[in-house]
Amino acid sequence: MTAYKSILAYLSDAATARQTLALALKVAVTHAARLRVLHVRPDATNAVPLVGEGMSGAMVEEMLALAETRAANRANELHGLFEQALADTPANAVWVEEVGQEEDLLALVGRLTDLVVMARPSPDSESAPLLALNAVLMESGRPLLLVPERPVQQVGRHVAVLWNGSAEASRAVAFAMPFLAGAEKVSIFSASEARSLAQPQALADYLACHGIKAETRVMPAGGTVETTLLGEVEKAGADMMVMGAYTHSRLRQLILGGVTRHILLHATLPVLMCH
């Protein structure tokens, strides 16, 4: 991929909307891309099967009306935040609101975009944000840019590529080319025990074919891979990470956690990943 021309930002709640909008608009302006900002309102009728047996029709209608009101209020709040953010930027952005199942619509809409931007789930998140995130990674076929909780002053100046030689990491590099080509500095990180398999210098040589100069860094042994990764990347001063997701089986990752899950939940930098 040589350029991002269509970007999708997903807003689920007000707590993370401002950071997501700020980063998505920044990337859209930098790459002269069209930005679609999506919010999915839940279908209130989905609440009906959860209603206890024996409830009257009037009570069911009251619950549905309450669910509709809450969904509408959330959508209106997010739309207001979108309008505020758009007033301060020259970005080409539009608001998109859909009603339905969050994961299904994210996967569907995400297939016709170059990059999906959404907030990183917090470590104490419920299952819904993780399901939405997995829908993008596993079903859209597109790269995902995760937004950290803290404000992002810049993104893409110093890009850290987490490289293990996997097909997923290779795809992530391909999808990240617009960032890599525009970066002032690119660093390739690989674990010492996987150096022969990962061949970080081979990746550096490949990037050089695209006019991208990259340095290689082999992480020291000791500690868990995921903790060492995050520590070394932050120490290097990178402002963004690129990595493949679920390079082991998805079931194993979900059961055991794995590097992907740890970085999903604990990274303090924007992370571009794909499966």
195-226 pLDDT per residue, tens? 556 789 999 999 999 999 999 998 776 556 66
Q: Is residue 111 part of a domain?
A: yes
In a domain, 153, yes or no: no
Q: Domain check: are 143 and 167 in the same one?
A: no
One domain for residues 141 and 174 = no
CATH number at residue 57: 3.40.50.620
Residue where one domain finishes, among candidates 98, 124, 147: 147
In terms of residue numbers, what domain contains 44? 6-147
Contact 204, 188 (CB under 8 A): yes
Tell me the per-residue pLDDT of 77-123, one tens digit each, with 9 for 90 and over: 999 999 999 998 888 999 999 999 999 999 999 999 999 999 988 76
What is the Cα gyration radius of the chain? Answer: 20
- 176 domain-assigned: yes
Q: How far apart are CA 44 and CA 60, in angstroms?
A: 11
d(CA 38, CA 100): 12
21 and 143 fall within a common domain:
yes
Query: Is 80 exceeded by the pLDDT of residue 58?
Result: no
Same domain assignment for residues 15 and 113: yes
Whether 102 and 132 map to the same domain: the answer is yes
Q: For the chain, what is the domain count?
A: 2
Q: Are residues 89 and 35 in the same domain?
A: yes
Report pTM: 0.88
Same domain flag for 178 and 250: yes
- Residues 85 and 203 reside in one and the same domain: no
| Separation CA 134–CA 272 (nearest Å) | 14
Looking at the chain, list the stretches that DSSP marks H as alpha helix, in order from N- to C-terminal side: 14-30, 57-86, 102-110, 127-135, 167-175, 177-182, 195-198, 200-209, 225-236, 250-256, 258-266
Q: Where does residue 262 rank: exposed (0-12), middle (13-18), buried (19+ CB within 10 A)?
A: middle
- pLDDT at position 48 over 70: no
Cα–Cα distance for residue pair 103/46, rounded to 1 Å: 14
Whether 48 is in a domain gets the answer: yes
Residue after which a domain boundary falls, among 147, 177, 210: 147
Over 159-202, what HEC string results? EEEECCCCHHHHHHHHHCHHHHHHCCEEEEEEEHHHHHHHCHHH
Residue where a domain stops, chosen among 115, 147, 179: 147
| Residue 118 in domain | yes
- 152 within some domain: no
Are 132 and 234 in a shared domain? no
Query: Does one domain contain both 50 and 129?
Result: yes
Q: In sequence order, what are the beta bridge partners of 107? A: none
For residue 168, being part of any structural domain is answered with yes
Q: Tell me the average pLDDT across 246-251.
A: 53
Residue with tokens 């301060």: 88
**1 lies in some domain:** no
Residues 31 and 63 in one domain: yes
141 with 23, same domain?
Answer: yes
> pLDDT tens digits, residue range 141-199?
999 999 998 889 899 999 999 998 889 999 999 999 999 999 999 999 987 655 556 78
